[in-house]
Copies of this chain bind each other. A is one copy, B any other.
Amino acid sequence: MAAIPGRLFGIGVGPGDPELLTLKALRLLRAAPVVAYPAPEQGDSFARSIVATWLENGQREIAIRIPIQPGLPPAAIYDAAAAELATELDRGNDVALLCQGDPFFYGSFIHLFARLAGRYRIEIVPGVPSITACAAAASTPLVTRDEALAVIPATISEAEIARRLGESDAAAIVKLGRHFPKIRRVLRELDLLDNALYIERATLPNQRVAPFSDVDTGHVPYFSMALIRRRGAIEVNE
């Protein structure tokens, strides 16, 4: 007789500080017989490192190895990972799939979700995303009152970034990395350079917060962000 299929939990583990795990994430990841997480082709998984102290000896671990390269990884990577997770689910095992930040906010989880949704019971546990973590780290409000917020990936074209930024009250430009020089050009052209903060590795011990204009182009990791407020700081009388 076939087992009742297991459930897949897409678990946001937050931006990096292990204490920014939610109580629900902690409960579910400790209870699952199988814990899966994205990892580079070689080396350690960032998502796993966030919860490392909570993992139990008896849990089976599945590293979903994703090559780091410009552009999207091949669909075959996700096809194979989805198949491996499906095998566990078909055995009746619940799987906790760890996602740095939030599962549905630019997560590679989304590619696995797209392949498994409808076939299995999937529950998403939201996590603290990078944008609110960066705002907290920088002690700067993300968005308030009647402001609209634009979240813009640095990967899109310069013209498109300029257009979106030009219309925003407040903006977060995510995935800076090698796109940093492009973003600096756009901010300078729009005269927004002095309204921009740079945040790197928010909530980790080596976190860095700096005026955007102070940052050296050569050393910008993928996990970095710019926060821009058109009106500058929040006023007391707002």
- Please give the number of chain A residues whose Cβ is less than 8 angstroms from any Cβ of chain B in the complex: 65
Which listed residue, B20, B115, B146, touches A126 by the CB 8 Å rule?
B20
A231 contacts chain B at the CB level, 8 A cutoff: no
Using Cβ atoms and an 8 Å threshold, which residues of chain B touch A156? 146, 148
Closest chain B residue to A155 by CB distance? Answer: B146
Contact A139 B117 (CB under 8 A): yes
Q: How far is the CA of A53 from the CA of B74 in the complex (A)?
A: 47
Which listed residue, B144, B167, B238, touches A164 by the CB 8 Å rule?
B167
Interface string of A221-238 (1 = CB under 8 A from B): 000000000000011111
Which of A19, A139, A144 counts the most B-chain CB atoms under 10 A from its CB? Answer: A144
Using Cβ atoms and an 8 Å threshold, which residues of chain B touch A152? 148
A127 contacts chain B at the CB level, 8 A cutoff: yes
Interface string of A21-53 (1 = CB under 8 A from B): 111101100000000000000000000000000
Contact B164 A148 (CB under 8 A): yes
Q: How far is the CA of A164 from the CA of B143 in the complex (A)?
A: 16
Which listed residue, B15, B23, B75, B115, touches A20 by the CB 8 Å rule?
B23
Using Cβ atoms and an 8 Å threshold, which residues of chain B touch A153? 145-148
Contact A132 B127 (CB under 8 A): yes
A118-142 contacts to B, CB under 8 A, are 122, 124-129, 132-133, 135-136, 139-142
Using Cβ atoms and an 8 Å threshold, which residues of chain B touch A135? 102, 104-105, 124, 126
Contact A149 B150 (CB under 8 A): yes
Closest chain B residue to A161 by CB distance? Answer: B148
A210 contacts chain B at the CB level, 8 A cutoff: no
Return A107 CB to nearest CB of chain B, in Å: 8
A72 contacts chain B at the CB level, 8 A cutoff: yes
Using Cβ atoms and an 8 Å threshold, which residues of chain B touch A164? 148, 167
Using Cβ atoms and an 8 Å threshold, which residues of chain B touch A14? 22
Q: Would A22 and B24 be within 8 Å (CB), given that A122-B139, A126-B133, A164-B148 are in contact?
A: no
Which of A17, A104, A238 counts the most B-chain CB atoms under 10 A from its CB? Answer: A104
In the A-B complex, list the 7 residue pairs whose CB atoms are closest, starting with the nearest. Answer: A124-B136, A19-B24, A149-B151, A126-B136, A126-B132, A102-B132, A104-B135
